[in-house]
Every structure is written in C-alpha cells, then in structure tokens.
Amino acid sequence: METLVLTDSSLDMTVLDGMESELSKQLESLKKTKSQLLQKISALKRQISDIETQENEAIRELEMERSLLEGEHRTEMAQLQEDQERINTLKQQQHSMLDRATKHREKEQRAIEREREKLLMLEEKQHAVMQQLRSSTSSLEMSSSPTTPVSLLNPTAGTSELSMLRESLQRELENQRRIFDDLEFQQLEAEARFDEEKERMSNKLLQDQQQLLQKYKAREERLQQIDTQQKGMLGNVKSTLEGLEQDRLKLVDTFKKEKQSAADVHSKIAELSRMLSLPPNTEATEEESAAISSDLELEEKMEGNRHLFIDSNALDPESAEVRGDGGSLGGKEERKKSSTLMEIERNRTLFMEQQGQHMALTLTHIMHDLQTE
C-alpha cells in the first residue's frame, strides 16, 4: 500500500515536471517571439520616421525651389523697373528740354520783336527825312526861277543837315537790319537744332520703349513658365507625398498589428510566469513599459496622422480645411505639413497675380506712350 502511494506521488511529480518543462519551453518561445516582435516594431518605427523625414524634406525642397523661382522673377522685374525708370528719366529730360527751348524761343522772339520795332522806327525816320529832303530840293528848284524874289534866293539852311541826317540814318538802318537779320538767322538755327534734338530724343525714347515692351513680353512668357514650373513642382511633390503617405499608412497598420501581437504575447508571458510562480523581471518590465509607453505615443500620433494628412484636394485654396478631429501632437505636425503646402500654393498664386497685374499695367502705360508719341 505504501509502495502504491509512493508510485502515484512519483507519477504526479513526473507529470508536474513535464508540464513545468513544457510551460517553460512555451515561455521561452514566447519571450523569443516577443523579442522578435519588438525588433520588428522598432524597425517599423524607424521606417515610419524615415518616411516622415522624406515628407518634410520634400516640402523643404519645394519651398527652396519656389523661393529660387520667385527670386529669379523679382530680379527680372527689378531690372524692368530700372529700365522703366530710365525711360521716365528720358521723358523728364525731353520735357525739360522742351520747356527750356520754349522759354528760350520766347526770349529770342521778344528780342527780335524789339529789334524789329527799332528797325521800323529807323525806317520811319528815314522816310520822314527823305520827305523833308525832297521838299527842300523842290524849294531850291523853285528859288532858281527868274520870277522868284531876291529874298528867296538864299538856300535852305536845313538841306545840308537833312543830307547828313539821311546818311546817318542810312548807316544806322543798315546796322539795325544786320542785327535783325542775324537774330532771325540765329532763331532759325536754334529752332533747327531744337527740332533735330527733339527728333533724336523722341526716336531714342521710342526705341527704348519698344525695347522695354519686348522685354516685358519676354518676361511675361517667363512668368508663365515660372507659374508652370511651380504648378509642376507642386504636383510632383503632392504625388510624392501621397505615395509616401500610403506607404506610411501601411506601415502604421502593420505597426498596430504587430503591437497588438506583442501585447498578446506579453499577456501570455505574464500568465505563464504566474503559473510557473516565477518572480517578475523588474528591469525587463521597466524597459518594456517604457517601450510600450513610447509605442503608445507613436500609435496615438499615427492615429491622428491618418486623417490629418493632405488629401487630393489639399492644394486647392478653396479646400483649405484640414480633415480630422486632430487632438494629438501628431495631428499638429501633419496640419503644419498640410498648411505649409497650401500656404505655398496661396503665396504662389498671389505672387503670380500681383506680378501679372503689375506687368499688365506697365504694358498698358508703354502702349499708351507709344501711341501718343
């Protein structure tokens, strides 16, 4: 009887030892599986982080290219502005020349009129002297008649003086006529020079305006090219980001599944440890808790990112609302990405509209100036 009891006890111990051995093997297998899962989760986190880095880098490159293109266009517009200022300066010079020439012409005309009045006055004096001289000569001829009284035979005392006065007036008249003719000739020469200079400046102004018009047309084409380039860049970046986001979401789903698997394995390990009455590994538990906490934060971020990343309408300024409830830190980061792209698009559109309006206005002014020349 005692032998039978001992045999049963031995069998129970053998069974228990076998079960304990099997459970220990399962525990080791689960720990190995958990270690593999944690390594896989870490790799997934790195891949997700790499994709997010690529997304941010794509946005930075887009912003850099946009800045370069806008800088190029601003440089061209600044050069055109300098050309326009040069034309405005030429216009001011032309207007100043016209004003100076007009004032000079008026001054010369007044001088000519004064000399003309002097000439007319001398001609009138000469005419009066000639009249007096003819009258005096006629009186002398009458005095030589036989019937003339002796008292009238004396010559007129003023005849000699009139002759001298006539000669003096003649010299003065000739001198005044030369002065008048010289002034008229100078005035004609000045007007000829003025007309020549005016024509030269007008031709120069017209030529510069036509050149500026051609430059503006070329810049307008370049503006359209820049706009096309920026649209193309936005489209490429959008496609790249959408592809990256699809990959990221797949990794997120895989991460969540692996995370759940790791949690299940962790629960089984804890259960087996209790069954085997094993003391908990405090150091491993703390490390696992920290990893789990980090993973939970990442999972929360990913969950927020899922609905917050830009969709196919994110680049449309009219669809600027960010989708999703966005309560996490990850949501803020993804909203920043989305708003960055939309801000780039809005800035691009506004920049192109402003530059296009400025160019159209300038072209209108140039065409008006060309038509009025």
> Tell me: the pLDDT tens digits for 100-121?
878 888 888 888 888 888 888 8
pLDDT score of 144: 52
Which stretches in the chain have pLDDT values below 70? 1-13, 15-18, 136-159, 278-373
Q: What is the largest CA-CA distance in the chain?
A: 217
Token pair in block for residue 344: 């780039």
pLDDT score of 298: 56
pLDDT score of 9: 60
pLDDT in tens, 253-270: 988 888 888 888 888 888
pLDDT score of 140: 56
Yes or no: say if 334 and 56 are a contact pair by the CB < 8 Å rule: no
pLDDT score of 6: 46
Beta-carbon contacts of residue 314 (< 8 Å; ≥ 6 apart): 238, 338, 341, 342
Residue for token digits 């009887």?
Answer: 1
- CA separation for the pair 218, 225 (Å, rounded): 11
272 burial type by CB count under 10 A (0-12 exposed, 13-18 middle, 19+ buried): middle
User: pTM for the complete prediction?
Assistant: 0.48
